[in-house]
Structure 1
């Protein structure tokens, strides 16, 4: 017989594969990190069952659910088997109700041991919110905050640090957004539920590290908001200002945002410009239009960096009271070595002071 367990009990195991049996739209809205979607019902079937539940009766809705599910059970079980990867499946639906019970029961009948998440995704979400709200700022390792004007390559630096095994909290990656009005171009932008789950998963995995790298993000990143404890800790962290010549910044910015579909790229750039062009000087507004007509993105980017983003970034950096260490990132490899050396000094100082 399958076993019902709380999330905290299941998460302690390293032989678990989460199986989300909710509909595709529910899964895409938010799920447990690492979960595979094996829906018992499609979105249309779920809506149909819900209508019967409201307009007829619960018994009729359950009967309809049985009819719809029975024909697809062999395929569904095969998908669960394919998704297990030699691990024990942990089944969940919205609130630990009939969908997860049905799938877990059939798996048990087929001789496949499994767990079922008590309270379903709803209980998991409540746990995530409670943990983030109660997370003590002092429990974080020393934060090393990477600053720098747009285009210096902060995201690439974080990626290279992570590839070296350094502890990195990539907030833009978790948010699916680069932070500016252009930040969602080419990315899957996360909602708050997705961001919170990913953030908690990352924070728990980084516990005990001597320091933690992250970018100097604003409180809001795309569609999500950073928790208060993390924002305050970031403001009190150790600061590195990354620098690079303007031509390097222009090239890196274009390479980061450019899409293969030039028409789609132009459309998305134009749409993003509409949110900020009212803040441009009349002269800049005219030049931006000319560059968009010509598709001269390098000229456009250079002007936006120097005349729009740089002044705002300098103002934001003034809110940090701790000293800045400046590192040129024209050469990524050399910069990474300097950044890691600085981090080791931070860790040494922190261990002595504690």
Structure 2
């Protein structure tokens, strides 16, 4: 019985179906899917050579060259990797760029070795286009934006709401100069793919309205999908207004306590501490010109003092000595100015719980 090739991209993404990506590593690095493992038919160099041959001598010559380059022990090693994957993931699929030669060759070689394994029709291009359309479609649905000063718990609320789209989570960045996380940001394509898959799963649960955090065009190095960003520019705003002390507590917990523990857990105590210190120094340095050099130097001195106390086991409370003026003198005025330009779109203000209840009970 032959393997059942599939063009049901929705089911593949809804169920996180494991995928063998047989494209070259350079293609995989530019963009792929969360459930994909790169087990290439050809290396970057082999693909490059076959590509030149195809342009100069046509498809038949290119296929012959590919067969020569991937033969003998090299071929057996690659088939063995695919076979292992197939055994571990019997419900998976193979894909290449367009569902063409590479995935069919992989499928044929596997079948000759006794494994009948399906491929994705249309390959990467078709799956990518499917996800682009998901983002475009979602942008036409009812959307509200959660605003509020730094530390208001906007991201926390988006994550807590069943209809929240966590753009920062998909971008692996929290949006400000201090926004990097312990996970590296990925390519723009991978960011857009993660957003689309998240939306697809929520749609499948019957969700047909959305809430996002008030974001700029970019989150770290990733750009918010254009259609979603444009929809955000006309959407109604709800604004969290929490007490300063509560916002400060959240910021210290998220950016100091959690990050320092995370760095040390990931890199070990000594290296983790160095990396955590560098993260805070780099983040403050990134906004030095907007702060002004005199204010930057004052805050830097307070940061260094706080890090020293923390490293000596005296807790993280000293960080408030630079966090408080940074909020009062920089972040709060900046966000207030940005919010003033959107004031005509604000439909509700309240503390975290009031905004949550408003959104949960909102039927518009």
Q: TM-score, normalised by structure 1?
A: 0.79
Distance in 1, matches of 2:13 and 2:33, equals 14
Q: SS of the counterpart of 1:289?
A: helix
State the partner residue of 2:68: 63
State the partner residue of 1:31: 32
Matches within 5 A, 1:260-299: 260=264, 261-294=272-305, 295=307, 296-299=318-321
Worse overlay, 230-239 or 184-193:
230-239
Post-superposition shift, 1:180? Answer: 0.9
Distance in 2, matches of 1:176 and 1:16, equals 22
Q: SS of the counterpart of 1:91?
A: strand
State the partner residue of 1:144: 144
- 2:170 matched to 1:174? yes
Post-superposition shift, 1:111? Answer: 5.7
- Structure 2 stretches lacking a partner, 5+ long: 54-60, 265-271, 308-317
Distance in 1, matches of 2:279 and 2:13, equals 43
Aligned partner of 1:119 among 118, 122, 135: 122
Change (3 A) 1:91 1:72: closer
Change (3 A) 1:114 1:16: farther
- Structure 1 stretches lacking a partner, 5+ long: 330-334
- 2:348 matched to 1:325? yes
Post-superposition shift, 1:118? Answer: 2.9
Q: SS of the counterpart of 1:239?
A: strand
State the partner residue of 2:160: 160
Q: TM-score, normalised by structure 2?
A: 0.78
Matches within 5 A, 1:93-242: 93-109=96-112, 112-129=115-132, 132=135, 134-135=136-137, 137-138=139-140, 140=141, 142-161=142-161, 166-207=162-203, 208-242=206-240
Worse overlay, 286-295 or 102-111:
102-111
Distance in 2, matches of 1:210 and 1:171, equals 17
State the partner residue of 2:314: none
Post-superposition shift, 1:91? Answer: 0.9
Post-superposition shift, 1:170? Answer: 0.4
The CA RMSD over aligned residues, in Å, is 3.0
